[in-house]
Amino acid sequence: MTSSTMETPAGSPSGRPRSARGRLATALAAAGSLALLSLAPAAAHAEDAAPRPGDVVVSEDFDSGGIPANWRAVDGDWQVRDGRLVGRAASGTKKLTFGPHLADYRFEATARFESVAEATRWFALGLDVPASGATPWWIATLRSGSTAANGVEFAQLTPAGAWNVTDTAAAPRAAATGRDVKVRVEVHGHRAAWFLDGRQLMRTNRLQRSADGGLALVVNGAEVSFDDVKVTALAPNGYLRPEGAPLTVVAHRGASSAAPENTMDAQEVARRGGADLIENDVQLSADGVPYLMHDNTVDRTTDGSGDITTLTSAQIDRLDAGSWFAPAFAGAHVPTLREQLADLRTRGGDLLLEVKRADSKAQVAAMLDVVRAERMTGRVFVQSFSRVHLRWVRELAPELPLGLLVGTLDADPVAVAKELGLTSYNPSGAALETRPEVVDALHAAGVATMVWTVDSADRWKTYDGYGVDAVITNRPAELSGWNQAQGRQVPVPAPAATVASPADGAVLDRAQRPVLAVGTEHADASRTEITVDGVRRAAGDTLDAAKLTAGRHTVRVAVFGAGGTATTTSTFTVRADPAGLGHLVLASGGQPKTVAGLLDRLARGAYGKLAAEAEKAARRGDLPAGAARLVAADARWLQAAAGHR
């Protein structure tokens, strides 16, 4: 799943040179024309006033000094301060709603954590939120500690008030506090992509959209400021790759290099491996049931034989479709299209359905009837080598996106795309290499490209360079990993550490017992070295001020990570005062008579005599030596401070 790259006339948000898609958006905005975008199989807007692709629906910099009209602070403390919208949630989740309901849009903003209760706290862009804030609603979240495994999320707050977190990922660096981050989410129906500072971190195909939910800003356990909030309507072709996004991963016949093709096992492996779309072939049995099968016969991939169109569903259901691949898959069956779609609907995933064989429009209709019965029309993309099949699909289900498979490029792919109403033109890798410039031409016409079937990293790099939107591969997990390893990732960040407690510059009295708390980023926690006054300590240790000498103390933290090493120091002071000295005497463990004598001298301000008596008591064994040293030191410090000689 990917999103459209349609940009407003202001240009590419990433600062990179505009692609042909970006140039098209500018031309469309200037001309007010949607002629080329009619290639995408989407219903026309019902009203002339409805936003058109490229229209900026919301643009707010808060320079007016107040919350815009029609923005609703549902709960929490929201105000405009210093030209930024500031939301504060001391606890819980607070939100502000605004904007219209949109099926296809880009939502972007500049945000900054001003303060957080802890690194797990977050803000979110609300993607489908009723103006009243009533549940259910969907959000894309960013935590202050965004490098955590769940640093970014797509999540739903259910009517029961429970969080349904569908997707999580880690950002390459922490959002932290006091630093602006640029966030962006591109939404196409139930699909969405999450971007941070121009780089895609995660995408989902599991949004559940309402009929009228709008947009929102949400804060949780934090104070967050927002600026430059912008919402842009997008064209419905969500298969065009936006700037900063990796290749869309399409699993050919499922993860067919790791599991038997066109089986539920291959689908599961592909889903777990990060595939955005599952590609499978569909044919009808003798009694009209759509099954997943590539070959005309079942001979190669099952323990049976015969043309699939001559076998009944009862016969097909008895076949073993796994043993041929590996013993571990013995007993795998040939799935029906209905079974596959039900699994995708309940467990996640979209289908690139290839109509393999169909002798009539009625046979194609039998396949599409299953798609509708399983309520999956919004999550199925149909492709075929047969242009007749695609024309039938367009007549029967005009809401479904279409892709044409070709082994040789047409003389004019754009004209073919317009004639067939294609969302994507899908050439073989070898065909595309003869004229790679067709990718830009198709993009200029609002048509995506999916190249097949490519299983090597050097070819992925080639087609990525051509600008293709998706790669159909037998190795979806490997392609997902390759995507993550590409240059879209930021350089490995250097490790960093902070001392949260005792805070730098803190002054402690003798009764305090702070816990040593250290925060690290991009560091190997197992190798963190912490010392207090040169003595090795550990995070979580309690520092008993009653056992430290009066004066300054130094905490030093050394951290190690893939980006190098770093050290930080922090100092705190233990204060000597009469109350603290009394605490030391009472907690010293000395003999009662000795303690009473020391307290009497303290009450009279006889600090010099108190120090001398503590040292004598230690020599007599009436006062522990360590306690005596601290008592004497504090007493002499107080004597000097009071001007006693």
The answer to pTM > 0.75 is no
Question: How confident is the model at residue 361, as a pLDDT?
Answer: 97
Q: 20-233 and 496-574: same fold? A: no
Alpha-carbon gap, residue 472 to 495, rounded angstroms: 38
Burial class of residue 535 in the structure, from the number of CB atoms within 10 Å of its CB (0-12 exposed, 13-18 middle, 19+ buried) = exposed
Q: Specify the amino acid at residue 302.
A: T
Per the CB < 8 A criterion, the answer to whether 277 and 346 are in contact is: no
Nearest to 338 by CA among 305, 302, 366: 366
Q: What is the pLDDT of residues 513-545, one digit of tens each?
A: 999 998 887 777 667 899 999 999 998 999 999
- CA angle (610 as vertex; 609, 611 as ends), nearest 5: 90
The full set of domain ranges for the chain reads 20-233, 248-485, 496-574, 578-641
| C-beta atoms surrounding 100 within 10 Å | 17
Burial class of residue 196 in the structure, from the number of CB atoms within 10 Å of its CB (0-12 exposed, 13-18 middle, 19+ buried) = buried
Residues whose CB is less than 8 angstroms from the CB of residue 623 and which lie 6 or more positions away in sequence, other chains included: 588, 589, 590, 591, 594, 614, 617, 631
Q: What is the pLDDT of residues 154-194, one digit of tens each?
A: 999 999 999 999 999 999 888 989 999 999 999 999 999 99
Per the CB < 8 A criterion, the answer to whether 34 and 43 are in contact is: no
Helix or strand (DSSP H, E) at 631: helix 625-641
Catalytic annotation, pick one of 45, 188, 190, 294: 294
Q: Specify the amino acid at residue 73.
A: A
For 20-233, which CATH class? mainly beta
Nearest to 248 by CA among 416, 483, 452, 57: 483
Q: What is the topology classification, in CATH, of domain 248-485?
A: TIM Barrel (3.20.20)
Residues shown for the chain: 645
Per the CB < 8 A criterion, the answer to whether 246 and 170 are in contact is: no
Give the E-state strand segments of 118-162 in sequence order. Answer: 122-129, 137-143, 152-157
Per the CB < 8 A criterion, the answer to whether 576 and 570 are in contact is: no
Per the CB < 8 A criterion, the answer to whether 418 and 395 are in contact is: no
Alpha-carbon gap, residue 286 to 288, rounded angstroms: 6
Alpha-carbon gap, residue 505 to 61, rounded angstroms: 38
389 is catalytic: no
H-state helical runs in 348-467: 361-373, 387-396, 413-420, 429-434, 438-444, 457-466
The pairing of beta strand 248-252 with beta strand 277-284: parallel
The strand pairing partners of 571, in sequence order, are 554
583 is catalytic: no
Catalytic annotation, pick one of 188, 190, 252, 443: 252
Per the CB < 8 A criterion, the answer to whether 128 and 156 are in contact is: no
| C-beta atoms surrounding 419 within 10 Å | 14
The pairing of beta strand 93-98 with beta strand 214-220: antiparallel
The pairing of beta strand 93-98 with beta strand 72-73: antiparallel
Both structure tokens of 545 = 């001020």
User: What 8-state DSSP symbol labels residue 432?
Assistant: H
Nearest to 287 by CA among 272, 306, 309: 309
Alpha-carbon gap, residue 463 to 449, rounded angstroms: 10
Q: What is the topology classification, in CATH, of domain 496-574?
A: Immunoglobulin-like (2.60.40)
Question: How confident is the model at residue 370, as a pLDDT?
Answer: 98
CB hemisphere CA count around 374 (13 angstroms): 24
Residues whose CB is less than 8 angstroms from the CB of residue 139 and which lie 6 or more positions away in sequence, other chains included: 124, 125, 126, 127, 129, 154, 155, 156, 157, 216, 218
Percent of the chain that is helix, strand, coil (3-state, to 5): 25, 30, 45
Mean pLDDT by 10 residues, the chain (645 residues): 32 33 35 33 46 94 94 93 95 94 97 93 96 93 94 95 92 90 95 93 91 96 97 91 92 96 96 94 98 98 98 98 96 98 93 96 98 95 98 97 98 98 98 97 97 95 96 95 69 74 92 89 78 93 91 92 80 92 92 94 92 94 93 90 66
Question: How confident is the model at residue 493, as a pLDDT?
Answer: 60
